[in-house]
Structure 1
């Protein structure tokens, strides 16, 4: 008889401890920036600023960029999703059907959000008129060069594809053990971006505006043959992902690669030189096929999404207050700049208009285009298809023609059951 009360007491104590642990912070933030040594201090600064302004506390959770989507769905299945999650904009189509995702128009008001944010930035989190995320920082994905490596090899910034390849050959021959262009050759998400941009350069497309797979074209075959030849000629290398590109560039072993403007922060960290390395980071226009062509880039950014029971929230909720703070001038004139990205609010952009690096990046962007794969509800499957077939061709497992044919067939099958995400 005496054991029953003791068991109840022990259970009550355990429950109290668990509840206490759960309430150690008022809310939780989950994102990739907190897992990145170069960007973690900026996240901590924003959280500290939020605590000072609101009196509320935040528990940050960090996962590597490549592991974020997996962890989002694992936590969704176990009903442990944090209140605020940082998303790459192209992940939204795969996240939008989670039942606890909040339409932020219902929290802050559509008109107020449109008055606050730059239109192209706000669009990153909008699908079918629903605001599923507020933009945290924005920019484009395009080409960046290491000025020191170009000078060491004696090459100028290339403007055309022909000049670009010639520059890579010179770097390969003059700088031992270099990877002149560390193009993404692993990780489907990274491969798709690099190939998509080169495909645009050569006049190709993967999926047209109507949702039809159009990769089976002479332009796309030429684009794929181009990137395959880069690997064959040791101008690019197998088993390269974006973090590898950044490290090679920071170590003076590559001349060019494709990335977002946040690359400057990574290069500062990986080089060990901090801001002194900035002089080597050169935003440049994507090479064009022929004179008169418009350089291309991919629209890019990260958003903050909110999850709540029944997908409902009000401005007085702790998570709503964190979103409001993260998009305030105080946070937007610090956090995006620390990550070498553009602020997303109109007022913050006016205040940082003198940033030379971001200004040069914007000038080099040329004609930013939406991610033509990422806007569809089956984006994850499309990424896998394109990534697998491009990689198979680059590794010599398939011919260019066979890879393009397989891509066309697989993409067509996938798009037959897809719908646009925005």
Structure 2
């Protein structure tokens, strides 16, 4: 009996030691690792980091729509990951989490400015702190599927809203079982981006830079009425989120949708054709109300935040070594390009691998002045996003008129901003 207990105890200690030996030096939570098309690229990064430093990384997948919630849950249970991949619009809501690293204190503000493109680096700044660095950047703009356009007899990309709607009608009538414009009509964060884009197209705004809600305007009503009309005429469809839109466009069952430059990677995957499908992927300017208007797009980036492994954090910490590695050309000329996005660093953008990419060049040409997401940047951005999406959905589904939805959106958003400390 004693011998059995001794063997059992020895085995337990041995297994514990093995588990401890296998424990990763840092953990990385991100939505790219949860995406089939991006997972291999993440695994390349991790393998490269381990080969260079000898340190190991535990990847933690989280669906895009669940990541913020998962981070907050881990904060409550004190199990925050070492590093987290986030959307640029989430940073304000995550900026107060305990242990969030200000990279300026680790790497130096001037050094970071030498490494990263200024507009990309700026997306990670709050109150003078560098709380995030860009993994890749770009904008959210419109993508067309040439195969679907050809089926409908359309030869030129639309430049105005009037031309856009005429093309949608042609696709509806000539391409059976299609969704002409795969607009986001579900998933609150997706609806937010699509609605904001059309707000800007019609000259409207939701919240001004001082935090005042300004969505209750004639321009906003016109924007929402335009989208409601698209739904009534079966030019858009209910229950479409960004993943659904990518699938539809990749299968040539939709002709237009809004996405980040990553669109190419998703469409290659969903088409089943890989790079051979590139001929059908056409980055284009978002249509304008009248010729001569400035086309709009929205800022977009994948940012990286970190939680301190030591106090204070230093360059020698495993997660800070990982952050430094993410800014290396080995990563920045690999991951963003494989995901069809612009690198965040100056040196990678100048690299021929990036500079000679026709798709990325076309994207940059068609999205020259991306605007800031004026809803997601606030500390109560999650609540504001839910309010906006709920009211837009109510209008699209015919539960409210466009006027009623905009009025209700304004009232609810003002209450939320007042509660958050922004006088209305």
What TM-score, normalized by structure 1, do the two folds share?
0.95
- 1:67-117 Cα deviation digits (max 9, x unpaired): 111111111111111111101111111111111111111111111001110
* Aligned alpha-carbon RMSD (Å): 2.1
- 1:169-224 Cα deviation digits (max 9, x unpaired): 00000000000001000111000100000011011100011211111100000000
Residue 238 of structure 1 is matched in structure 2 by 238
Cα separation, partners in 2 of 1:232 and 1:106, compared to 1, 3 Å: same
Structure 2 unpaired stretches of 5+ = none
Does residue 395 (structure 1) correspond to residue 397 (structure 2)? The answer is: yes
Structure 1: how far apart are the matches of 2:71 and 2:18?
23
Shift of 1:380: 0.6
Residue 219 of structure 1 is matched in structure 2 by 219
Structure 2: how far apart are the matches of 1:68 and 1:298?
21
Residue 408 of structure 1 is matched in structure 2 by 410
Residue 169 of structure 2 is matched in structure 1 by 169
Cα separation, partners in 2 of 1:21 and 1:108, compared to 1, 3 Å: same
Shift of 1:13: 3.3
Shift of 1:55: 1.2
Shift of 1:10: 5.1
Q: Give the length in aligned residue pairs.
A: 419
Contact 1:102 1:311 in 2 (8 A): no
Shift of 1:414: 1.1
Contact 2:310 2:317 in 1 (8 A): no
- 1:292-343 Cα deviation digits (max 9, x unpaired): 1000000000111111257631001111111111111111000100000000
Greater CA deviation, 307-316 or 173-182?
307-316
Shift of 1:418: 3.1
Residue 295 of structure 2 is matched in structure 1 by 295
Contact 1:94 1:377 in 2 (8 A): yes
Structure 2: how far apart are the matches of 1:365 and 1:80?
39
Residue 29 of structure 2 is matched in structure 1 by 30
Does residue 203 (structure 1) correspond to residue 194 (structure 2)? The answer is: no
Structure 1: how far apart are the matches of 2:361 and 2:20?
45
Contact 2:84 2:304 in 1 (8 A): yes
Structure 1: how far apart are the matches of 2:21 and 2:162?
58
Contact 1:99 1:311 in 2 (8 A): no
Contact 1:206 1:214 in 2 (8 A): yes
Residue 39 of structure 1 is matched in structure 2 by 38
Shift of 1:252: 0.8
Secondary structure class of the residue paired with 1:301: strand
- 1:109-138 Cα deviation digits (max 9, x unpaired): 111001110011001111111111110000
Secondary structure class of the residue paired with 1:270: helix
Cα separation, partners in 2 of 1:337 and 1:419, compared to 1, 3 Å: farther
Structure 1: how far apart are the matches of 2:142 and 2:230?
16
Structure 2: how far apart are the matches of 1:358 and 1:322?
26
